[in-house]
Amino acid sequence: MPTHPASSHDNSQAPRRWAQNEFNTLDLGDPRRVRRLKQIAADMLAQPGASIPKASGGWAGTKAGYRLFGNAACDPTKVLAAQRNATLERARGQTRYAADG
């Protein structure tokens, strides 16, 4: 089961694994768009307070990110739906808390 990124920050691959799991069901009409979104998400997770230019590590990554966000195919509702799916999948793996009393 995927873990939350905060539980595994000691590993430099944790942001990439988190993004892979978080956006596993995402469909933006082209696999390159999905790969780019996963890369941006991993970059931003690795540097939470950074701007897109700083987190992306250079002009090419920055430009690609802004192009993606400007593309109508990068629908925020699709991105959020993928995150919702990932959250529900994580929740399915949890045991229910039963309050005493």
76 lies in some domain = yes
51 lies in some domain = yes
pLDDT given at position 11: 59
Tell me how many domains the chain contains.
1
Range of the domain at 39: 28-87
pLDDT given at position 19: 96
pLDDT given at position 94: 83
94 lies in some domain = no
pLDDT given at position 1: 42
Mean pLDDT per 10-residue interval, the chain, length 101 residues: 44 89 96 96 95 93 95 96 94 73 48
Sign of CA dihedral 14, 67, 50, 79: negative
- The string of DSSP letters for 36-61 reads HHHHHHHHHHHSTT--HHHHHTSHHH
81 lies in some domain = yes
pLDDT given at position 93: 77
- CATH number of the domain that residue 34 is part of: 1.10.246
13 lies in some domain = no
pLDDT given at position 100: 55
99 lies in some domain = no
54 lies in some domain = yes
72 lies in some domain = yes
